């Protein structure tokens, strides 16, 4: 849900905090289903959620968490974290997925799609959080020229 504030001819849209959202639940479920379907190991790009208990449970079942897609041996199952993954959209970008990394893997996330939509509308996107945190890196990487991190 969004709330809006208008001041000096500008409108600020605020999105409520998402917390332990449906996307996180789906991401954990996907790792568990992948482990059941394919067996261990299942590689996961970044820790799936910021919850030590959940991450450790998945590790015990055979999930291997990696920071770089290049750390996943070819032919293995890879699941992206609930944080989403930025595509490399600008020269010199530190985006997580480049064309050579992609290997026909999907990279999409609802927040990323919203960032792209707002960028296309020439809006400025203000992300509140740590600029080096995976959620912020992932989302800002979708529209780096339209995004401010605070």
**Which are the contacts of 55, defined by CB distance < 8 A and separation ≥ 6?**
47, 48, 49, 65
Cis amide bond preceding 84, omega within 30: no
Q: How far apart are CA 3 and CA 61, in angstroms?
A: 41
C-alpha to C-alpha distances, 137 to 21, 65, 133, nearest whole angstrom = 19, 18, 6
- At residue 37, the 3 state secondary structure works out as helix
Catalytic residue selected from 56, 67, 135, 142: 135
Judge whether 135 counts as a catalytic residue.
yes
DSSP 106-142: ----HHHHHHHHHHHTTPPEEE-S-TTSHHHHHHHTT
Q: How far apart are CA 122 and CA 86, in angstroms?
A: 19
DSSP state of 97: B
Any idea which residues carry the catalytic annotation? Answer: 135
């Amino acid at each position: 849900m969004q709330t809006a504030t208008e001041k000096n001819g500008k409108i600020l849209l605020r999105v409520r905090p998402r917390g332990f959202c449906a996307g996180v639940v789906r991401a954990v479920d996907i790792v568990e289903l992948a482990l059941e379907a394919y067996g261990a190991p299942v590689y996961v790009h970044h820790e799936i959620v910021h919850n030590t208990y959940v991450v450790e449970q998945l590790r015990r079942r055979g999930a291997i968490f990696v920071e770089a897609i290049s750390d996943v041996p070819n032919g293995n199952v890879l699941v992206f974290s609930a944080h989403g993954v930025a595509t490399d959209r600008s020269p010199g970008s530190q985006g997580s997925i480049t064309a050579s990394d992609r290997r026909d893997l999907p990279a999409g996330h609802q927040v990323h799609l919203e960032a792209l939509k707002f960028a296309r509308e020439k809006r400025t996107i203000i992300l509140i959080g740590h600029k080096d945190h995976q959620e912020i890196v992932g989302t800002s990487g979708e529209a780096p020229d339209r995004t401010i991190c605070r």
